[in-house]
Each structure stands twice: as C-alpha cells, then as structure tokens.
Amino acid sequence: MNSEELIGLLEGRSEQALSELDRTYGAYCRTIARNILRSDEDAEECVSDAYLSVWNAIPPAKPTSFKAWLGTIVRNSALRRRRSTAVAEALCAELSESLPDAASVSANCEAKVLGEAITAFLRRQSPQVRSAFLRRYWYCDTIEAVALRLGWSVSKTKSTLFRTRKKLKDYLIKEELWHE
C-alpha cells in the first residue's frame, strides 16, 4: 500500500489503517526504535505509541513525505524515553566532537535553521557519504551496521564519518552558524 492510500485510510478512520501501517512500515519503525533503545520490548512499546500519535495526527496532518514523517515520530518517541539516554548522549557527543565548546552557536540559530544548513551541507556530499551520515546520526545505526549497509569496512566508515563531521563544522563556521 502506498502512503497516499494509507493516509486515505487514516483520514477515513478505517479500522484497517493501523494494521496496514504496521504491515508497510512496521520493520522500518522498529529498526529506528531498536537502534536507539537497544531493547525489543521497549522498541515495540515505542512503535505502538508512535502509531497512536499518527492516528491522532491524521487528519488534519497530511505529510508529503509520509515515511520520513513517521520515522521522525518514532525517533522522537524513542529519544524521549529514559533508556535512550546513553545512546543519544554518545551520538550527540560524537556528532559534535569537532565543534568548539559552549556559547558557539549564533544567537538566533534555532535547531530548524541548523537543520536546514545540515540539509544544504549534506546535499553537497556524495549519496554514499550522505547515507552514512544520516544512517549514523538520524537512524542511529551502529558503525558496524552502517558499514554493512554500504559495503564498507568499519575503519573506512569511521574515517568517512570523521571527515564528514569536520567538513560540517567548517561549513557551519563558513555560514556563520557556528563560531570558533
């Protein structure tokens, strides 16, 4: 079932909607949740909560990129749980390691603006590098999972992510979104 049809079922408050949602996107949602929570049980609970959020949001919401929107709901739901803290903190630290400390963000730089800048930066990278970065810092895949997905070695994955983080830092500084 494609996303338009699924949105149609949700808008029509069809009983089939959630089962179709799970059938089409269940594995995708569980992967995201499991990456962050590292527990099948917690992941299952998180995904159920996310489905409820989707049921409550549509209508009136009508996301154009349904899969990404759904993934964001699951991701945020997982990150809000206490069990995600260690994973989230580790990835946050890794992502920011090449950035200078404290008081370095431009005063008016909201997360949304930074997100748009990260998007612009990622569009300049090759598809594989972009995929590696997002699989690691959005999907929260382990390094090994990123390497396996892209057919890379673990050390190549680590060095690619390291260089990409550094290039992101340089880009944010150049765009005056981050100050040294």
The one among 101, 107, 176, 180 contacting another protein by CB under 8 A:
101
What whole-number distance in Å separates Cα of residue 162 and Cα of residue 13?
46
The one among 1, 57, 87, 99 contacting another protein by CB under 8 A:
99
According to the binding rule CB under 8 A, does residue 75 interact with another protein?
A: yes
Binding to another protein, residues 15-34 (CB under 8 A): 28
Stretch of 8-16, 37-45, 48-56, 58-66 contacting another protein, by CB under 8 A: 58-66
Count other C-beta atoms under 10 Å from residue 40's C-beta.
Answer: 11
The one among 64, 82, 107, 176 contacting another protein by CB under 8 A:
64
Residues that bind another protein (rule: CB under 8 A) add up to a total of 60
- In the complex with another protein, the residue whose CB is nearer, 43 or 118, is 118
According to the binding rule CB under 8 A, does residue 92 interact with another protein?
A: yes
**Shortest Å distance, C-beta 89 to another protein:** 9
Torsions phi, psi of 178, nearest 5?
A: -145, 140
The one among 40, 115, 144, 174 contacting another protein by CB under 8 A:
115
Q: Which residues bind another protein (CB under 8 A)?
A: 28, 63-65, 67-69, 71-72, 75-76, 88, 91-93, 95-96, 99, 101-105, 109, 111-112, 114-119, 122-132, 134-135, 137-139, 149-156, 159-160, 163, 167
